[in-house]
Amino acid sequence: YYVRKQGVLMALLLLCFGRNMDRTEHLKEMFLPVLDEMDVRLYDLVYRNSGRERILEVSIMKQDGSMDLDTCAAVSERLSEVLDEKDPIAEEYTLEVCSPGAEREIRDLNELDAMAGEYVYVRLREPFKKMLEITGEILSVENDLITLEYRDKAARRKAEFTKDNIDYIRLAVRI
């Protein structure tokens, strides 16, 4: 009896999340030509509930990883036009176009190849000198080997690890 109930619950969850995933994929397909035209990349697209309000959040960034308010506003205008024209969402919602933030996750590790000089937080799978977490500046990326300069009290030290050893990495803000 419990297994049958659990199976029904799983089917309902898949049905609900499946619809949301289909909607998200459809919206991405609609938005990509506009984003390409405006020379920005899609970082994330999320359709979520916030209390009673539904929000379509579109996170974008320029090709160099930066973002500014004017670009967000211009992209928001264009995406609004596309949404008004094609009307893919039946219920009422709010469109939010934003940057991924100053501490965005680096999802594509190939981005690291062009990120020398960036300050990052890294969580490793296997420890480097007994450390699983390191925050520092990327000095170089060569053949999947990353060299990071970090501070250990007053001393500056170097850590080396491969991309395969990265569990999670994001930009960090220097304090």
| Rounded Cα gap, residues 147 and 166, in angstroms | 13
Residue 18 above 90 pLDDT?
no
Q: Which among 26, 63, 21, 46 has a CA at the least distance from the CA of 97?
A: 46
- Asked which of 33-37, 87-91, 118-122, 149-153 is least confident by mean pLDDT, the reply is 87-91
Confirm if 31 and 58 have CB atoms less than 8 A apart.
Answer: yes
Between 114 and 131, the higher pLDDT residue? 131
Q: Which among 89, 79, 16 has a CA at the least distance from the CA of 42?
A: 79
Helix (H) or strand (E) holding 150, with range, is: strand 145-152
Phi-psi region of 130 (alpha: psi -120 to 50; beta: other; left: phi over 0): left
Q: Which among 160, 168, 170, 172 has a CA at the least distance from the CA of 125?
A: 168
Residue 17 above 50 pLDDT?
no
pLDDT tens figures, 51-79: 889 999 999 999 888 899 999 999 999 99
Strand partners, 57: 46, 96
112 Cβ partners below 8 Å, 6+ apart?
Answer: 106, 138, 141, 146, 163, 169
